[in-house]
Structure 1
């Protein structure tokens, strides 16, 4: 058998695209990490980050490989593949609703970011990012991956710079991290759950629901399974680095982020006015790249990309999302939507484990007949 070759450039672009997709408004603004990890303090938050990464790595590794192997015509068929026709269809529609809800949440994050730094109306910021994302999505999935694959590493570099600044501050004040770890739980921030371990696990399951169709789409663009799985692991590794830096910086700069809708932007401005000036557009790029990906993923349930129907549906969804994103405060949207989605992901993982490790012939699937066994 011929040895599977790996295209290094493709692997790096896909890993970068995963980081860009993941570090959207919830992550890049600091609200996700704050509510799921940082409010538990440094020790528990960092252990939670490791648990989160291990679980997320398993999900991405498995789904990138399945996406490459199955080459689904519609990425939402992954739910039918793992859960069967009826439960799978229920998951398809829940996923569409969830992803669209996250899309609206990210647009709210865009508005909050642009308002906090530039002083423009939150609604105007929401509209700008929504229209830019629509323009990118209509270019198709391959062009989208190429664009956001470059943005992903840039995000991690800027988060790392702020994380290193936080470590430098900690080095000068060794008691700061432990002192703020004790204070952050009572600082009035919203939390995902009352238990630090469960918050970390719940965040990983949310990641599964948020990322499953993107994992499948990315995996299907690879030449072989080895290339797909390597891309997923490198991408998740980059996400882990970003998570660790954000946990540390939010605890070290506790006094800076109090009352802020966008904690990371407040930290950037505190570290250096120049860093804040540069980070604001980078943060907007973070949100734009994730929003572009999500609107494409959601619309793919209704139409194939780069078709007239796709463009019409994407435009309609964008117009609705633009206005819905101005209705609730950003941190409130994150606190309502994200934990619920994590619970739904737990059931899906049970189906995945059953098919991957217990009965590979469960819920037989083929492209021509989703209820029949695939001929291999």
Structure 2
């Protein structure tokens, strides 16, 4: 392969891996798209574009930085941008947040399997935990290969809901205006009182939990241009999923009132078979995100595929499975998420400062 050749398969795998990483249980169920975007009506679609612009810039920078610097440990990116002291604070905060979300997802996975398949919750949590552990033990490259394929599958399934909504809208165009006026008054939870801030907050929440992962993906690319293409493509795919899901939730808004899993309610209405496939998709979404989050936590302490890595990964998984059934995670998330959003905005400011400084130095 020549110096200037772009490996298209690698670009799609790395883009798919990012989409799969972001599409966890909250997004696959439709709750994130509902609370951060759809609840604001048509403005929620504009929010999806705001997310694309912010995250497009961020992934371009982070994937490129990962490829150029090839950090020995992906968490080194925090010191790279913020300096030693603040960098260490970010490292431990990010680590805590990612592990907490890992446990939240395990608990959510157990509840999902219990709800759809009538298996005991602890059994569902254990099954997803063990599958995620097995995937993480294969190492970062294998994980990217696996979830890089799963990512586009998730996007396609979520796009079906949006496409079904668009086709329904084609015959009854007044539905969008009707939904636009109805959505804010139906009792749905909203992430913020303002649609624009909600979109910005969602972008920075996505940033703070994916910084080490994006750096790892960038390092896996063969060259900087390839890495940046993958980052942008993954962000476009995810933003498209947001917008299509928002349209679907607006068009089918009567179906999703008081529904914990909006996507499943819509999918069942479109087709019982699609409903069944969506129940599987949600479990797969949780599994792939859990495996990615676990690997990112353990990579702080050990290189993948080593004995030390395997032991730490196993212990953290066992602790996660145990805690998944006893800690009130709604309170934990309520405390961690707002702080996460603000801390990510500060980190982004440091990123931009460092990148601009390096460009000025390079010109001089």
TM-score w.r.t. the length of structure 2 is 0.93
5 Å matches for 1:33-182? Answer: 33-41=33-41, 43-182=42-181
- Larger mean Cα displacement after TM superposition, 96-105 or 294-303: 96-105
| Correspondence 1:1-376 to 2 at 5 A | 3-41=3-41, 43-327=42-326, 336-358=335-357
- C-alpha deviation, 1:147, in angstroms: 0.7
Name the SS of the counterpart of 1:256 in structure 2.
coil
The CA distance in 1 between the partners of 2:85 and 2:359, in whole Å, is 18
Aligned partner of 1:374 in structure 2 is none
Q: What is the deviation of 1:321? A: 1.6
1:369 corresponds in structure 2 to none
Tell me the CA shift for residue 4 of structure 1: 2.4
Work out the CA distance in 2 between the residues paired with 1:330 and 1:172.
43
Contact 1:32 1:334 in 2 (8 A): no
Deviation at 1:330, TM superposition (A): 7.4
Measured after TM superposition, the shift of residue 309 of structure 1 is: 1.1
Deviations 1:239-284 (A, max 9, x none): 1111111111112222222222222122211211010111211221
Which shows bigger deviation, 352-361 or 128-137? Answer: 352-361
Residue correspondences, number: 360
Moved more, 84-93 or 187-196: 187-196
Give me the CA root mean square deviation. Answer: 2.0
Which deviates further from its counterpart, 246-255 or 58-67?
A: 246-255
Gaps of at least 5 residues in structure 2 are none
- TM-score, structure 1 normalization: 0.90
Q: Name the SS of the counterpart of 2:119 in structure 1.
A: coil
Assess if the C-alpha contact under 8 Å between 1:192 and 1:335 holds in 2: no
In structure 2, do the counterparts of structure 1 residues 37 and 168 end up closer, same or farther at CA, with 3 Å as the change threshold? same
CA distance in structure 2 between the aligned counterparts of 1:272 and 1:234, rounded to whole angstroms: 30
Q: 1:167 to 1:337 in 2, by over 3 A?
A: farther
**Measured at CA, do residues 97 and 302 of structure 1 come closer, stay the same or move farther in structure 2, by a change above 3 Å?**
same
Deviation of 1:112 after TM superposition, in Å, equals 3.5
Q: Alpha-carbon deviation of 1:35? A: 1.4
Per-residue displacement from partner, 1:100-145 (whole Å, max 9, x unpaired)?
1221222233233323322333333222111110110001001111
Cα 1:323/1:246, change in 2 over 3 Å? farther
Tell me if the contact between 1:30 and 1:264 (Cα under 8 Å) persists in the aligned partners.
yes
Moved over 6 A (4+): 328-333
Contact 1:299 1:310 in 2 (8 A): yes
**Helix, strand or coil for the counterpart of 2:210?**
helix
How far the C-alpha of 1:332 sits from its partner, in A, is: 6.8
Measured after TM superposition, the shift of residue 333 of structure 1 is 6.2
Deviation string, structure 1 residues 279-305 (Cα, Å, up to 9, x no partner) = 211221111111111100011111111
Closer, same or farther in 2 for the Cα pair 1:300/1:199, shift >3 Å? same
